[in-house]
């Protein structure tokens, strides 16, 4: 079996990864959430959940966390378009302004290989800047 990180975000004291794993039965995805509790009050998180596709663990992450404000460590090319679309949905749903996203925008654009645009109607859109040979 081979584990491959297909999406990872991190922040102070924690990270959330979605792994793709080839098994004898096919491909599965693992949602791996780890957080360190510096207070030693037992608030550590160490959770691994198995899924049959990428969309389900990403949906869990997307509904529960403001992942767009965390540091996006990596994303596999197979999922950049999907994640970019979900990012736009989240930014527009939450009413995130360019000022609120300013310190993260460059990092997000770089890792997703997109160019974000906030238009006159206060709506976020994106264009892919992938250069395929």
- 76-89 per-position pLDDT tens digit: 999 999 999 999 99
- Are 68 and 48 a contacting pair, CB within 8 Å? no
pLDDT score of 132: 46
Is the predicted pLDDT of residue 125 greater than 50, yes or no? Answer: yes
Please, which residues have CB within 8 angstroms of residue 91's CB and are 6 or more apart in sequence? 68, 101, 124
pLDDT score of 39: 54
Question: For residues 72 and 41, which has the higher predicted lDDT (pLDDT)?
Answer: 72
Taking CA atoms, 123 is separated from 58, 91, 127, in Å, by 23, 9, 14
Is the predicted pLDDT of residue 116 greater than 80, yes or no? Answer: yes
- Mean pLDDT rounded to a whole number for the chain: 87
What does the angle CA 42 – CA 69 – CA 95 come to, to the nearest 5 degrees?
A: 125
Section 40-45 average pLDDT:
55
> Residue 48's Cα: distance from chain center in Å?
16
pLDDT score of 2: 73
pLDDT score of 107: 93
First to last CA, the chain: 31
pLDDT score of 133: 41
- Phi, psi dihedral angles at 9 (to 5 degrees): -125, 150
Q: What pTM did the predictor assign? A: 0.84
Angle between helices 80-94 and 98-112 (to 10 degrees): 180
- Using a pLDDT cut of 70, give the percent of the chain over it: 86
pLDDT score of 86: 96
- Are 4 and 19 a contacting pair, CB within 8 Å? yes
6-20, 75-89, 113-127: which range is least confident on average?
A: 6-20
């Amino acid at each position: 079996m081979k584990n491959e990180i297909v999406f990872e975000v991190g922040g102070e004291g924690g990270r959330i990864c979605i792994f793709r794993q080839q098994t004898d039965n096919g491909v599965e995805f693992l949602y791996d959430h780890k957080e360190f509790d510096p207070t030693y009050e037992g608030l550590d998180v160490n959770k691994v959940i198995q899924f049959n596709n990428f969309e389900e663990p990403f949906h869990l992450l997307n509904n529960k966390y403001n992942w767009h404000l965390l540091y996006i460590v990596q994303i596999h090319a197979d999922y950049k378009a999907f994640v970019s679309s979900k990012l736009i949905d989240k930014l527009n749903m939450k009413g995130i302004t360019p000022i609120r996203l300013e310190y993260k925008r460059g990092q997000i654009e770089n890792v997703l290989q997109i160019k974000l645009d906030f238009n006159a109607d206060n709506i976020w859109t994106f264009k892919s800047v992938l250069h395929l040979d």
